[in-house]
Amino acid sequence: MNGSLDSGQIDRLLRAEWKGRIGCHARGRTYVVPVSYVYDGSSIFGQTGDGLKVQMMRENPLVCFEIDCSPDISSWESVIVHGSYEELRDEAAQAAVALLTAHLQSLATSTGAQPPRGAGRMEVGSEQSAPRQEVVYRIVIAQRSGRYERA
């Protein structure tokens, strides 16, 4: 059976997952990349290095975000979000990193597990190289939809 997820089911799935995919488009090129995230009920928050996806989202802030959960081949749920990319700074960035870190740590399977690089953790290379520039962002949700299939 196929169907649409209602608003509550979409919220549940967005809150339960930690990995999604951002789709961005600039200069005639589309780029889709996995990211870790947290959802607060109205926006998606993430942290990443200043690379290709950030450059593209700065150029065209209209993005698509997708998550899915598939316990087996005949059962799955998927949510698609359309929204606008915004970079966060200062207290807003600190609050987003704290929210993201708490979410990822709550999902850790062992007490020694740490969030991945980019989730509130800065990895500094050798003394000769500069630290990686981190970007904290949110996707302000304009539209969302969800689908499912169940055996």
Q: Residues 97-133: pLDDT tens digits? A: 999 999 999 887 655 555 455 544 433 344 455 666 8
Lowest average pLDDT, out of 2-6, 7-11, 114-118, goes to 114-118
Residue 151 pLDDT class (50, 70, 90 cuts): confident
What pLDDT score does 108 carry?
A: 78
What pLDDT score does 131 carry?
A: 67
Cα–Cα distance, 15 to 28 (Å, whole number): 32
* pTM listed for this prediction: 0.84
pLDDT at 96 over 80: yes
* Structural domains in the chain plus CATH codes: 2-121+128-149 (2.30.110.10)
Across the range 21-35, mean pLDDT stands at 97
